[in-house]
Structure 1
Amino acid sequence: MNWISKVRNSLPFMAKRETPDNLWVKCPKCQEMLFAQEYEENQRVCPRCDHHGRLGADQRLATLLDEGFALLTQPEVKEDPLKFRDTKKYTDRLKQARAKNPHRDAFSVGSGEIEGRPAVVGVQDFGFMGGSMGMAVGTAFCAGAECALERGCAYIVVTAAGGARMQEGILSLMQMPKATVMTRRLKEAGLPYIVVLADPTTGGVTASYAMLGDVQIAEPGALIGFAGQRVIQDTIRESLPEGFQRAEYLYKHGMVDMVVNRKDMRRTLVGLLDYLRPAQAA
């Protein structure tokens, strides 16, 4: 035994401390390593480059609504109506998604207040099968609109989706006119319908309720569009402009009303609720 080993064995060295695997996260845009706690406290916005990461439904509702809001029960719908199977059964994909998510499907609704202003907030979670729009999402969206109609308050929806859920075929596409009818009912009742476009908002969701708001708000850098950029380029056989389909490009060209940083979202919504509140509530 050499002298280094003798000294090491004779001294009361402390055991090596274990470092949690989730102590640090890497920003997907600037690739900087961020302290995970700081990242979460900053609502998943990178303090270095301002990249807006994706939020789960519970975290999104908690950042927008005051404490004590009520979470609406997600409606029951018939699962796997087409007995669909690709590389896996659709039922197995649902089980897999639910094992990683506290909710039964991709759309959750909270009813409460935003700094004392009554509001119903619906949130689409990209973490559940890419936020895809199936019967459960369409039914939950309509349930949120019904709640807003009953309360006589604004309906705010945060979208984040890859489009329609292919495992439900035409039944998924039927959610587009179904949700559109509900936005019309809100308009006829004189109630504000505000949409917050988060990254990404694409496909059938963009072609329906995501672009029908009285006010369209986008988060910085959010991808917003119907078809993918490569599909469009191959179709028109032309190169697309820099930043095409990003929030800032759409704002510049009049497709959205404003681009708002996540830390300013509550304050912006409060201002809109005060401005758009029904005349009888003024």
Structure 2
Amino acid sequence: MSWLSRVRNALPFAPKRETPDALWVKCPSCQEMIFAKEYEENLYVCPRCEHHGRINADTRLAQLLDPGFDLLAQPEVKEDPLKFRDTAKYTDRLKKARAANPHRDAFSVGSGTIDGRPAVVGVQDFSFMGGSMGMAVGTAFVQGAERALSRRCPYIVVTAAGGARMQEGILSLMQMPKATVMTRRLKEAGLPYIVVLTDPTTGGVTASYAMLGDVQIAEPGALIGFAGQRVIQDTIREQLPEGFQRAEYLLKHGMIDMVVPRKELKGTLATLIDYLSPKKAA
């Protein structure tokens, strides 16, 4: 044994203190390190630069709905109808996504109240295969709309998606008209359909139910569009303006109605429900 080992073993050195990785969060925008508890208490918004972080479906529902809401059971649909395989089987991709997520697919629906006002809220979760729209997402969207119709209350949808789920091919694209029909049924019933666009909302979701709301709200800085910027630039062979496809740019050009910070979102939705909900006869 060397003299260094003997000295080290003889002295009462305290064990190295370990710092949990979850104690700090690095903001993807300003790169600042944020105390995780502070980040959570600020609704997952960076207190330095106001970057709105992505959050999962359960967190979003808890932020928008009053305590005690009901979570609708997610629908059972035929899985892997095309027997799709790229670098991995579609069934294996689903298993992997479900192992890291509490829900069976990317769209969850809660039924309850927002500041005491009846509402049904559907939330798309980008952490589940990029929030991609497949048969399960389309069916869950329809179930949420049907619950709103039965309760005679507004339907609020929070979008976050990379578009249609390629592993389901044309069956994924069929969810676009299916969801559009349900937005028409809500309109015919005189019930508000409000969309909250979050980062990112793109592809077939943008081309269908994400842009059909009676009121279009977006979170600050959210990426919203159909095709990616590189694809557009290569097609038109022009440099796109700064901030293109971001929420503030779309607001300026009349594509959405308002940009609302996350901490003000629940109150804004409650006010809109008061304005838009059908009035009961006295």
Query: TM-score, with normalisation over the residues of structure 1?
Result: 0.96
1:55 is aligned to 2:70: no
Shift of 1:174: 0.2
Aligned partner of residue 44 in structure 1, secondary structure: coil
Alignment-mate amino acid for residue 14 of structure 1? A
Question: Where does residue 34 of structure 1 map in the other structure?
Answer: 34
Question: Where does residue 101 of structure 2 map in the other structure?
Answer: 101
Shift of 1:276: 0.7
Pairing of 1:253-268 with structure 2 (within 5 A): 253-268=253-268
Note the alpha carbon deviations across 1:142-194, whole angstroms, 9 max, x for none: 00000000000000000000000000000000000000000000000000000
Q: For the residues of structure 2 that align with 1:2 and 1:36, how far apart are their CA atoms?
A: 43
Question: Where does residue 24 of structure 1 map in the other structure?
Answer: 24
Aligned partner of residue 120 in structure 2, secondary structure: strand
Question: Where does residue 66 of structure 2 map in the other structure?
Answer: 66
Alignment-mate amino acid for residue 257 of structure 1? D
Task: Give the paired residue count.
Answer: 281
1:142 is aligned to 2:142: yes
| Cα distance change of structure 1 residues 4 and 209 upon mapping to structure 2, 3 Å threshold | same
Gaps of 5+ in 2: none
Q: For the residues of structure 1 that align with 2:18 and 2:26, how far apart are their CA atoms?
A: 20
Aligned partner of residue 263 in structure 1, secondary structure: helix
Shift of 1:13: 3.8
Question: Where does residue 188 of structure 1 map in the other structure?
Answer: 188
Q: For the residues of structure 2 that align with 1:76 and 1:13, how far apart are their CA atoms?
A: 58
Q: For the residues of structure 2 that align with 1:127 and 1:219, how far apart are their CA atoms?
A: 18
1:14 is aligned to 2:14: yes
Q: For the residues of structure 2 that align with 1:188 and 1:96, how far apart are their CA atoms?
A: 40
Identity of aligned residues (%): 82
Q: For the residues of structure 2 that align with 1:16 and 1:171, how far apart are their CA atoms?
A: 55
Shift of 1:3: 9.5
Q: For the residues of structure 1 that align with 2:18 and 2:237, how far apart are their CA atoms?
A: 54
Aligned partner of residue 275 in structure 2, secondary structure: helix
Note the alpha carbon deviations across 1:177-233, whole angstroms, 9 max, x for none: 000000000000000000000000000000000000000000000000001111111
Aligned partner of residue 280 in structure 1, secondary structure: coil
Q: For the residues of structure 2 that align with 1:38 and 1:264, how far apart are their CA atoms?
A: 18
Alignment-mate amino acid for residue 82 of structure 2? L
Shift of 1:36: 1.2
Query: TM-score, with normalisation over the residues of structure 2?
Result: 0.96
Shift of 1:14: 2.9
Greater Cα shift, 272-281 or 186-195: 272-281
Q: For the residues of structure 1 that align with 2:33 and 2:18, how far apart are their CA atoms?
A: 19
Q: For the residues of structure 1 that align with 2:3 and 2:143, how far apart are their CA atoms?
A: 74
Question: Where does residue 224 of structure 1 map in the other structure?
Answer: 224
Shift of 1:4: 11
| Cα distance change of structure 1 residues 86 and 4 upon mapping to structure 2, 3 Å threshold | closer
Q: For the residues of structure 2 that align with 1:226 and 1:281, how far apart are their CA atoms?
A: 42
Q: For the residues of structure 2 that align with 1:104 and 1:43, how far apart are their CA atoms?
A: 25
Aligned partner of residue 34 in structure 2, secondary structure: strand
Q: For the residues of structure 2 that align with 1:162 and 1:240, how far apart are their CA atoms?
A: 20
Gaps of 5+ in 1: none
Pairing of 1:203-214 with structure 2 (within 5 A): 203-214=203-214
